Structure 1
């Protein structure tokens, strides 16, 4: 009986700690998605997401839409489209981003392609070489749930950069946030041991 009571207390404590941890992560995600976005950034790094054939997924489309709006309002900003070609993709994510931006009227000369990356770490690491030499300020363009972790990864790459959060498709909210909690946990564990 004593063991059963102890086990219940242990399970309750684990649940409470887990809820507090997820609450903390959620707070940091929301906090980072609501920071002020500076005008006239020298460059944007638009992080890739799934492309279906040649068509951007809704999450990627939101990123592109938001980037295009910023680029139109800030004509001196350069765009770095980042993302390689994965399974089920006929073109790279970077190429898909570029095509959509050009469809918005963004001149091709303002768009640089980083089309080799396979994850957020590589998106940022490989995009660094496309940043204009004289650049001082930049923004990461991704969905709101992803800004917090993406900025920490950029910081690890010695890239001080702000965030330009695009909204997350409503039908993908639960899946996106659940995956992000797990990805953040993995990030913190790796950081702890590196």
Structure 2
């Protein structure tokens, strides 16, 4: 009977230990989730319109050959930076959703040309699909043009992840979140924030393995 009693006690002790480990892990995860959410939310309020060689506009959806409201907000902000001489060049990023569609960057270029930006001041890349590619391909295109300093243009809630990636690429870059974001209401911001928390966390966790 003593052996049986001792066995039950050991099992109970192991169960309590496992429960404590699980609860501790859950607490750490929850704390990080809250931290990531706060960092992403507050980082988007930062703007550093430092005089730079070019603005890199991160790609977004195109609707029927025109910029979506999200993309237009980013492009309009970049045009403002250009018109106020914060940048000398505009780098538009974003590839094609299908072979029959114009690339996001091509649509952005046409939008800028229609608003008086000389073609010589526009650089595009047409291959990127995700934020990491937006930045790496834009950096390569910029280097070919002799550019070295950049303002990164995107929606405020996208800026933390974008700037983390830019830093990892060794870019001399500054955040310039658009004040024309299509995500203006809390109802639209919360899903965007949750999505960014997921992608930002995934990027940070996987970074050591890249």
- TM-score class, shorter: 0.7 to 0.9
Take 2:30 and 2:142, find their aligned partners in 1: how far apart are those partners?
A: 40
Q: Which sections of structure 2, spanning at least 5 residues, go unmatched?
A: 1-11
The worse-fitting range, judged by mean Cα deviation, of 184-193 and 124-133 is 124-133
Contact kept? 1:144, 1:168, Cα under 8 Å: no
Take 1:67 and 1:76, find their aligned partners in 2: how far apart are those partners?
A: 9
* Residues 1:153 and 2:165 aligned together: yes
Take 2:123 and 2:96, find their aligned partners in 1: how far apart are those partners?
A: 16
1:92 equivalent among 98, 103, 118 = 103
* TM-score (norm: length of structure 2): 0.78
* Residues 1:126 and 2:142 aligned together: no
* Number of the residue aligned with 2:206: 190
Larger Rg: 2
Contact kept? 2:142, 2:148, Cα under 8 Å: no
The worse-fitting range, judged by mean Cα deviation, of 108-117 and 31-40 is 31-40
1:149, distance to aligned residue in structure 2 (A): 0.7
With over 3 angstroms needed to count, the CA separation of the structure-2 counterparts of 1:54 and 1:184, relative to structure 1, is same
* Residues 1:81 and 2:92 aligned together: yes
Structure 1 segments of 4+ aligned residues over 4 angstroms from their partners:
6-16
Contact kept? 1:84, 1:118, Cα under 8 Å: yes
SS of equivalent residue, structure 1 residue 94: helix
Contact kept? 2:148, 2:172, Cα under 8 Å: no
* Residues 1:180 and 2:196 aligned together: yes
* TM-score (norm: length of structure 1): 0.84
Q: Which sections of structure 1, spanning at least 5 residues, go unmatched?
A: none
User: Over residues 117-176 of structure 1, what are the superposed CA-to-partner deviations in whole Å (9 max), with x where a residue is unaligned?
Assistant: 111111111111221555342111111111111111112212121111023523532221
Contact kept? 1:52, 1:88, Cα under 8 Å: no
The worse-fitting range, judged by mean Cα deviation, of 138-147 and 103-112 is 103-112
Equivalent pairs, count: 192
* Number of the residue aligned with 1:139: 151
Contact kept? 2:55, 2:87, Cα under 8 Å: no
Alpha-carbon RMSD: 2.7
